Structure 1
């Protein structure tokens, strides 16, 4: 470990402790776990592309990875401490945090990886299948999901993608999801879902609200459906399922098709508006 790799490795170790797991982190970053372990040990420094990916994931500056580890820890620990102090000082925020923790126990049977379906707010006559992971950490239920849109010119390539991170609350049999888009950092989305524990498949149906990522940036609301793919961690095979689909795509489950209102002629309904 030389003078360049030592600070990077120590700072990465500090940040990695805050992740759900190294396996889930590597799956989302699409970085081989053995390679990531070499970054942690200081045997290798990532390429500029991978440094950018890791920095974006943890919301840190790329150049800060190479500063003195003690200074790095002070900067990012102080940031977390200020947030924690703000929550402790606000009765409403503190009460909400307590409720979030209290609801986690009731919802553990629904933790896992889901296919998330909705009518696309960007492409017309298109269904968007994203991949969502619900997991527990420090007594809270968190989630993240990835959207990928196929290129209109080349369906075998991805035109653009979005990633959302959020927190889940389970109240009176309903699932409330609130998240932020972490790549463009210009949107919050909200969803209210009703879980259905009809074994062997776990389903959720509800409504989602957000802002379309097109030139008009219109608010929208549409039906959304979740089907559980597996328990446990996200795997590379799950990520390959994230895509934009035609309404008659045979991989869309029939219950999802009925709930979204998909037919061969129509791709469900979406409420849009700027007012």
Structure 2
């Protein structure tokens, strides 16, 4: 009995000569935006990974462990005939679709698919912006932050850099917060979802009107997130001002911070656009444009 158990265990070990690895890896990669995305997540050099995909060489057991963990399969399953691996993966994916739309796509897959249709529209919005809104701490100050939009691997990604006074650092010292996100264009709006990079403690959402007007300087919208000072969900109007001049990045960052409304640092037109008053007969906060 002991010998039979040993033989069975040995037969489960991956066969380094298997010809199915490259086919199976290409199939598993097909569920992700790009090969580069997969390489970054696994922590593998792209040129080296290309050799795995082409079948020139096989990954080491160490790399296979990281790869299988990322794809959510067992190491042994990567060595199976492609038809068997597909049956396993499709079974896993079907089991996760407890909430789905009429086409059988999970909500996460459906949202991911929405990141691509608006690419042609978003190309003209690539670049740097100053972003303005009233701070969420109730101080009545205006936050000017640095915001960027760029295309990466077929998806438009955003980055927000804030320099704010944080009570834990004293009133004069600025704390820098960074947020990464994605943007898509739908129904005449730009939708942005972002998260705080370090603590990953909150997610923010913003929607901007993208109606084009002659001489338009600003994109206006509504944003919502979590206020660390109040511990409550908070929303406000928000404005993006495109940076059209060739300004060094460091100088852009230096201009960011929080400002009193009366110190002349923020243009009156911007103050009007980010005001959070709700005019009668409106009952909800809407875009100010």
Aligned to 1:175: 190
Instruction: Tell me, yes or no, if structure 1 residue 119 matches structure 2 residue 145.
Output: no
- The DSSP-based 3-state class of the residue aligned with 1:96 is helix
- Deviation of the 1:193 alpha carbon: 0.9
Deviations 1:131-166 (A, max 9, x none): 1111101111110101111368654x31x2321111
Instruction: Tell me the distance in 2 between the aligned counterparts of 1:109 and 1:242.
Output: 24
TM-score using structure 1 length: 0.60
In the alignment, does 2:257 pair up with 1:243? yes
Partner Cα separation in structure 2 for residue 196 and residue 248 of structure 1: 31
Distance 1:231 1:73 in 2: 46
Q: Using a 3 Å threshold, how does the CA distance of structure 1 residues 246 and 171 change in structure 2: closer, same or farther?
A: same
Q: CA deviation at 1:196?
A: 4.8
Give the TM-score of the pair, scaled to structure 2.
0.57
* Structure 1 residues 224-235: aligned runs within 5 Å: 224-230=238-244, 235=249
Assess, with a 3 A threshold, how the Cα gap between structure 1 residues 194 and 223 changes in structure 2: closer, same or farther: same
Q: Residues of 2 paired with 1:115 and 1:132: CA distance?
A: 6
Question: Displacement of 1:253 after TM fit?
Answer: 2.8
| Count of residues in correspondence between the two structures | 198
Kindly indicate whether the alpha-carbon contact (under 8 Å) linking 2:180 and 2:194 is maintained by their aligned counterparts in 1. Answer: yes
Distance 1:194-1:217 versus aligned 2 partners, 3 A rule: same
Cα distance in 1 for residues equivalent to 2:124 and 2:251: 22
Verify the 8 A CA contact 2:128 2:243 in the aligned structure 1: yes
Please give the alpha-carbon distance, in whole angstroms, between the structure 1 residues aligned to 2:134 and 2:269. 15
Q: Say whether the 8 Å CA contact 2:147–2:161 is kept in structure 1.
A: yes
More strand by share: 1
Using the alignment, how far apart are the partners of 1:197 and 1:191 within structure 2? 18
Gap runs ≥5 in structure 1: 1-16, 19-57, 61-69, 264-269
Higher relative contact order (Cα pairs below 8 Å, separated by 6+ residues): 1
Q: CA RMSD in A?
A: 3.8
Task: Report 1:57-206 matches (<5 A).
Answer: 81-82=71-72, 89=93, 91-92=105-106, 93-150=108-165, 155=172, 157-158=173-174, 160-198=175-213, 202-206=217-221
Report the equivalent of 1:211. 226
Contact 2:134–2:274 (Cα < 8 Å) also in 1: yes
- Closer, same or farther in 2 for the Cα pair 1:193/1:234, shift >3 Å? farther
Work out whether residues 259 and 265 of structure 2, in 8 Å CA contact, stay in contact via their aligned partners in 1: no
Contact 1:208 1:224 in 2 (8 A): yes
Identify the residue that residue 255 of structure 1 maps to in structure 2.
269
The Cα shift of 1:76 comes to: 6.1
Instruction: From the superposition, tell whether residues 113 and 71 of structure 1 become closer, same or farther in structure 2 (CA, over 3 Å).
Output: farther
